[in-house]
Amino acid sequence: MQPISLYSIKPFLPSAGRPLQKTGGLSFYYFIVIMSENCLFCKIIKGEIPSKKIYEDDDVFAFYDIAPQAPVHFLVVPKRHISTIMDMQPTDCELVGKMLYRAQIIAKELGIEESGARFVFNCKADAGQTVFHIHLHVLGGQVMGWPPFPKD
Ligand code: AMP
Ligand code: ZN
């Protein structure tokens, strides 16, 4: 494996600029970096894999889902790698709030403000999570059913 510099770790720190010793030690960050290097959505964010980008700022990235499940289906992701919602920390609250707020703005821009939409985080196996970098699905443009699983 390539040696990992502090520079490469920095984008994944929970709070950029805080000393590593105060945020849990290096081993956790090595783990995060290794996860990130193999992550599809980290590669999309870096432009290593193409996507139909909708929006980007310092914190979040939004793009159309490659296999849309509704007339409108896009994803909003944090630029910093977080594997699942179960891994979310108190320091991530503002970031996840930004994801949700950006999803709302994009949904309005795409014309589904009045008709509504479903805002979904799939988490781990029971929910069918397939990409382990948190992503907010926004689905709209048609009436959807509930519950979101087959009835007996
Ligand atoms: P989940 O099953 O909740 O983990 O959702 C992963 C989503 O990522 C699925 O809806 C996929 O269609 C979508 N997806 C997978 N690869 C890509 C890609 N290269 N570009 C855009 N969306 C993708
Ligand atoms: Zn990632």
Beta-carbon contacts of residue 86 (< 8 Å; ≥ 6 apart): 123, 124
Please tell me the residue having the least CA distance from ligand 1 atom 13. 65
- Whole-angstrom distance between the N-terminal and C-terminal Cα of the chain? 49
45: Cα separation from own chain's centroid? 10
pLDDT of 24 reads 59
Residue 123, ligand 1, Cβ within 6 A: no
pLDDT of 13 reads 45
pLDDT for residue 145 is more than 80: yes
pLDDT band at 28 (very low <50, low <70, confident <90, very high): low
Beta-carbon contacts of residue 76 (< 8 Å; ≥ 6 apart): 60, 61, 62, 99, 100, 102, 103, 106, 135, 136, 138
The domains of the chain are located at 1-38, 52-140
**If residue 88 lies in a helix (H) or strand (E), which one and from where to where?**
none
Residue 36, ligand 1, Cβ within 6 A: no
What is the CATH number that goes with domain 52-140? 3.30.428.10
Q: Stretch 36-62: mean pLDDT, rounded?
A: 96
pLDDT for residue 15 is more than 50: no
pLDDT band at 149 (very low <50, low <70, confident <90, very high): confident
pLDDT for residue 62 is more than 90: yes
- CA 144 to ligand 1 center in whole angstroms: 19
Average pLDDT over the chain reads 86
- CA 69 to ligand 1 center in whole angstroms: 11
Task: Determine what percent of the chain is predicted with pLDDT higher than 90.
Answer: 72
pLDDT of 35 reads 74
Please tell me the residue having the least CA distance from ligand 1 atom 20. 66
pLDDT tens for each residue of 128-144? 999 999 999 999 999 99
The rounded distance, in Å, linking the Cα atoms of 42 and 56 is 13
Task: Transcribe 20-87 into DSSP letters.
Answer: GGGGT-HHHHHHHHHHHHT-HHHHHHHTSS---EEEE-SSEEEEE-SS-SSSEEEEEEESS----GGG
Predicted TM-score (pTM) of this structure: 0.82
